Amino acid sequence: MKFFVDTADVAAIKELNDLGMVDGVTTNPSIILKSGRDILEVTREICSIVSGPVSAEVVSMNADAMIAEGRKLAEIASNITVKVPLTWDGLKACKVLSGEGKMVNVTLCFSVNQALIAAKAGATFISPFVGRLDDINLDGMELIADIRQVYDNYGFDTQILAASIRTVNHVTQSALVGADVITAPPAVIKALANHPLTDAGLAQFEKDWAKTGQKIL
């Protein structure tokens, strides 16, 4: 499973990338706002760090404007993935941009039917929002599993990018049901290394080592 990091924090991206934990990056208007930086500038810098897909999102609501914005964003670097919303206009933009050979990430997916038509429109990635479904007492992971089954049934190449990942359990569950990619904040990816038994074991090792009176260096 590929790991995308959901942030425009360049320092965090560099740290994870150096460890081989970044296969791509996702951003959105809220993330750009949080960064406090110009979208073209920060996206260009991210693309210079990460070799995998970097999602940059259009902000217009009609297809023609989305297409124009998508073309502008795609000029930043060869690894740009144009992110469009799962609306009818977004699907029109997806069809045109994917037809031009650009990677397209169709975002804000909340149903299998939405995922199905996004795949038919040529989406490179579909982004179902797991956490937001959980927020309204629906099973976000069930949606990932259902999309996986439908895509496998018909041989769609669109990759399932599990988004709105908020916990390490979301990562585990996404891997188990066959998501191609997860995108998560840096803190969630780093938390994958944590386990209370690891901490307890290290504490015991440190205590026992101190009793030996030895040093390695």
Residue type, 128: P
Contact criterion met (CB below 8 Å) for 205 and 27:
no
Residue entry with tokens 């069930």: 142
Contact criterion met (CB below 8 Å) for 144 and 179:
yes
For 94, list phi and psi in degrees, rounded to 5: -60, -45
Strands 24-26 and 80-85: unpaired
Contact criterion met (CB below 8 Å) for 39 and 28:
no
- CA-closest candidate to residue 108, choices 137, 136, 135, 87: 87
Active site residues: 83
Dist CA 139 CA 129 (whole Å)? 10
